[in-house]
Amino acid sequence: MEFVEVFDSPGKGRGLRATKELWAGDILFAEAPLASVVLDSLVSNVCHGCFRRQEKLQRCGQCRFAQYCDRTCQRASWEEHKLECAAIKSYGKAPNENIRLAAHIIWRVDKEGMVVSDTQMTTLDELENHICDMNEDDLKDFKVDIHNFLDFWPRGSKQHTVDSISHILGVINCNGFMVSDQRGLQAVGVGLFPNLCLVNHDCWPNCTVILNNGNQSAVDTMYHSQKRIELRALGKISPGEEVTVSYVDYLNLSEDRKRLLKQQYYFDCTCEHCTNKTKDDLKMAGAEVEGEKVPEEKVKEITEYSRKMLEKMEKARLDANYNEVVKICRECVEKQKDVLADTHIYQLRMWCTLSEVLSYLQFFDEASTYARKMVEGYLKLYHPNNAQLGMATMRAGVTHWQAGLIEVGHGMICKAYAILMITHGPMHPITKDLEAMRIQTEMELRMFKQNEYVYHSMREAALQNQPMKMMSEPAANESIKNLFRRK
Q: If DSSP states are collapsed to H, E and C, what string results for 29-49?
A: EEECCCEEEECHHHCCCECCC
Looking at the chain, the whole-number percentage of residues with pLDDT higher than 70 is 91
Q: What does the H/E/C string look like for 378-427?
A: HHHHCCCCCHHHHHHHHHHHHHHHHCCCHHHHHHHHHHHHHHHHHHCCCC
CATH pick for 4-246 out of 3.20.20.190, 2.170.270.10, 3.30.1060.10, 3.20.20.540: 2.170.270.10
Instruction: Return d(Cα 259, Cα 199) in angstroms, integer.
Output: 20
pLDDT value at residue 181? 76
Residue range 209-235: mean pLDDT, rounded:
67
Determine the 3-state secondary structure of 117 from DSSP: coil
- In this predicted model, which residue has the larger pLDDT, 324 or 178? 324
CB 264 within 8 A of CB 196: no
Q: CB within 8 A of 206, min separation 6: which ones?
A: 233, 234, 235, 237, 241, 243, 244
Q: Is 179's pLDDT higher than 90?
A: no
Residue 157 pLDDT greater than 70, yes or no: yes
The answer to whether the CB of 303 falls within 8 A of the CB of 355 is: no
Asked if residue 189 has pLDDT above 70, the reply is yes
Closest CA to 415 of 394, 439, 436: 394
Q: Provide the pLDDT confidence category of residue 226 given band limits of 50, 70 and 90.
A: low
CA–CA dist 429, 130 (Å, integer) = 36
C-alpha angle with apex 158: 42 to 78, nearest 5 degrees?
Answer: 40
- Predicted local confidence at residue 184, as pLDDT: 67
pLDDT surpasses 50 at 217: no
- Provide mean pLDDT across the span 230-249: 97
Above 70 in pLDDT, residue 474?
Answer: no
For residue range 81-119, list pLDDT tens digits in order: 999 999 999 999 999 999 999 999 999 999 999 999 899
Q: Does domain 279-476 have CATH number 1.25.40.10?
A: yes
Give the torsion through C-alpha atoms of 101, 107, 110, 116, to 10 deg.
-60
The single-letter code of the amino acid at 252 is N
Given a contact cutoff of 8 angstroms between Cβ atoms, the answer to whether 333 and 366 are in contact is no
Inform me whether the pLDDT recorded for 422 exceeds 50.
yes
Residue type, 476: A
CA atoms within 13 A on the CB side of 21: 1
The helix (run of H) or strand (run of E) holding residue 68 is strand 67-68
Q: Who's near 52: CB < 8 A, 6+ residues apart?
A: 46, 69, 181, 182, 217
Rounded Cα distance, 125 and 114, in Å: 8
Average the pLDDT over 454-482 and give the result.
59
For the residues 145-162, what does the mean pLDDT come to? 96
How high is the pLDDT of residue 52? Answer: 87
Rounded average pLDDT over 195-201: 96
Quickly state the pLDDT bin for 180 (edges 50, 70, 90).
confident
* Mean pLDDT of all residues in 345-360: 96
Amino acid found at 366: E
380 touches 410 (CB < 8 A)? no
Which pLDDT does position 219 carry in this prediction? 34
Average pLDDT score over residue span 66-89: 93
470 pLDDT higher than 60: no
CA distance 446 to 376: 26
* Residue 227: per-residue pLDDT: 76
CA 148 to CA 143: how far, in whole Å?
9
| Rounded Cα–Cα distance for residues 25 and 424 (Å) | 8
Distance CA 57, CA 34 (A): 25
Rounded to an integer, the average pLDDT of 41-56 is 90
Q: Is the pLDDT of residue 340 over 60?
A: yes
Binned at pLDDT 50, 70 and 90, residue 4 comes out as very high
Give the chain's mean pLDDT: 91
Report the run of H or E that residue 179 belongs to, with start and end.
Answer: strand 177-180
- Residues 261, 174: Cα–Cα separation, whole Å: 10
pLDDT in tens, 281-309: 999 999 999 899 999 999 999 999 999 99
pLDDT at 222 over 90: no
User: Within the chain, which residue ranges are assigned CATH 2.170.270.10?
Assistant: 4-246
CATH 1.25.40.10 placement within the chain: 279-476
Which is more confident, 222 or 97?
Answer: 97
Q: Around Cβ 449, how many Cβ atoms within 10 Å?
A: 11
Per residue in 12-29, pLDDT tens? 999 999 999 999 999 999
Largest CA distance in the chain: 76
Dist CA 251 CA 345 (whole Å): 7
**pLDDT above 60 (res 1):** yes
Of 226-235, 272-281, 338-347, 433-442, the one with minimum mean pLDDT is: 226-235
**What pLDDT, on the 0 to 100 scale, is given for residue 183?**
67
pLDDT value at position 162?
97
